[in-house]
Amino acid sequence: MADNYRTATGWSVEVVERSGTPDHGDGQQLRVRYHGFYVADVRTVAELEQYFPLADLELDALTLAT
């Protein structure tokens, strides 16, 4: 299971593996959610930083429990 990360302000990030996409966007991407709602799939950390400061990310405690 991939690590999930969260911020105190409601953002979450998880690593997802995409395959067989019609736009050939296969490979690992970072899935961005805000309060559980899908926002975007991004490929780079620079794209991720458009949504919130990376310093706000913390490893999700629920991920550590599994």
pLDDT tens digits, residue range 2-38? Answer: 679 999 999 999 999 888 877 777 888 999 999 999 9
pLDDT of residue 14: 93
User: Among residues 58, 6, 53, 59, which one has the least CA distance to residue 32?
Assistant: 6
pLDDT of residue 62: 61
Q: Is the model more confident about 43 or about 60?
A: 43
- Strand 11-18, strand 27-34: pairing: antiparallel
- Chain mean position to CA 18: 13
Residue range 55-60: average pLDDT?
A: 91
pLDDT of residue 3: 75
- Whether residue 65 has pLDDT greater than 60: no
Residue 39 DSSP code: E
